[in-house]
Amino acid sequence: MRDDVIRTFLDQAGWADATRISMGADWSTRRYERLTRPDGTRAILMDAAGDGAVQVPPFLRMCALLRDVALSAPEIFAEDPAQGLLLLEDFGDDSFAALLERGDDPWPLYAVATDVLSHLHNRFDNASAPDVQRYDLGLFTRQVALFGDAYLDAAGQPLSAAGRQALDETWVTVLNQVQGLVPDSLLLRDYHPGNLMALPTRPGVRACGLLDVQDGGIGPVSYDLLSLLQDARRDVPDTIQAAMIDRYLDARPGLSRDAFLASYAVMGAMRHARILGRVAQLAAGGGKARQLAFLHRVWGQFQASIAHPLLSPLQSFMDQHLPSDGAVAHILGR
């Protein structure tokens, strides 16, 4: 029945004569196909069946907002949000992640990715998006709850009710310290090389195509640079990290360096903790080896983030409840 729905959608969009090649799925329930017409014209079919359809309207909204500030989000050729179907511009196969794995020079890739963020934050008007979610204290604390729920359980250190309350209060204390410390702007949330596409025929920041933006919202400008440079999937050399932070701050002359670095550290601790919780969840369910392999790296990133003085309450909590190695070997069953 689903294929009948898709065939009807493609027929109505004028793509019934296209060949269809599966591109697999991402970490969600979304599935993708590459479509090619007889004249060689290509597009991407995004199939977000069932509950996944709720992500289609925010994806459309975020793409429109990004295109409004002259960034390369996919053009939409056809849409049926109720059925979870979209026909998207095809950005090709050269993700930044694929280029890095191929051995391309990482410096220009990270430079243009950083420039996309400074371009976005210098031009985006928050008032233009009253309908997108706000990454505020409440949303951040809900997202990080998975660390207390899943990671400490998987580590063999389950929290009592009092311990869980203490952890929640610690997160609120830490996150409160950086509320308003840096400006808010459009936050893409999963901003990493796997979601960035090389578009070499386009000028400047438009040479970086943006995918997987449906979870975006309004939040601290530090978050996406942190997501880019402290990637769960790969090691980014310290020299590149430091240079890209300098590059971003040079493009935002009114932004305090100390304030930015404080927010960067807290956003890092929060993001890494959420990923640790998710990977621990996967481990408990016999998760995929590729994702479990992130655990050592992300624990190290989390430790580095909570070394910032603003995170001393969280550092103290971790010292009391987890060994210095984060019980990574225990979680992986080694």
pLDDT in tens, 61-92: 999 999 999 999 999 999 999 999 999 999 99
Residue 131 makes CB contacts below 8 A (sequence gap 6+) with 61
pLDDT of 25 above 60: no
Give the pLDDT band of residue 223 (cuts 50, 70, 90): very high
CATH 3.90.1200.10 domain range(s) in the chain: 96-332
Average pLDDT, the chain: 94
The residues near 326 (Cβ < 8 Å, ≥ 6 apart) are 155, 276, 299, 302, 303
| Amino acid sitting at position 84 | G
Whole-number Cα distances in Å, 8 to 4, 32, 60, 144: 6, 17, 21, 41
- Span 224-240, average pLDDT: 97
Is pLDDT above 80 for 95?
yes
pLDDT band at 107 (very low <50, low <70, confident <90, very high): very high
pLDDT at position 334 over 90: no
| CA neighbor of 61 nearest in space, from 127, 129, 136 | 129
Residue 288 has pLDDT above 90, yes or no: no
Q: Residues 257-283: what's their mean pLDDT?
A: 94
Q: pLDDT by residue (tens digit) across 163-198?
A: 999 999 999 999 999 999 999 999 999 999 999 999
Q: In what order do the strands lie in the sheet with 19-25?
A: 19-25, 31-36, 42-47, 85-88, 76-80
Mean pLDDT of 214-237: 97
Percent of the chain with pLDDT over 90: 89
Q: How confident is the model at residue 291 (pLDDT cuts 50, 70, 90)?
A: confident
Residues 228-242 have a mean pLDDT of 96
Residue ranges of the chain that CATH labels 3.30.200.20: 2-88
Q: Is residue 321 pLDDT above 80, yes or no?
A: yes
| CATH classification number, 2-88, choose in 1.10.540.10, 3.30.200.20, 3.40.50.720, 3.40.50.920 | 3.30.200.20
Instruction: State the pLDDT at residue 235.
Output: 95
Q: What is the dihedral of CA 260, 248, 302, 236, to 10 degrees?
A: -160
What does the pLDDT read at residue 24?
Answer: 66
The radius of gyration computed from the CA coordinates of the chain, to the nearest angstrom, equals 21
Give the burial class of 168: count Cβ atoms within 10 A of its Cβ; 0-12 exposed, 13-18 middle, 19 or more buried.
Answer: middle
What topology is assigned to 96-332 in CATH? Answer: Aminoglycoside 3'-phosphotransferase; Chain: A, domain 2 (3.90.1200)
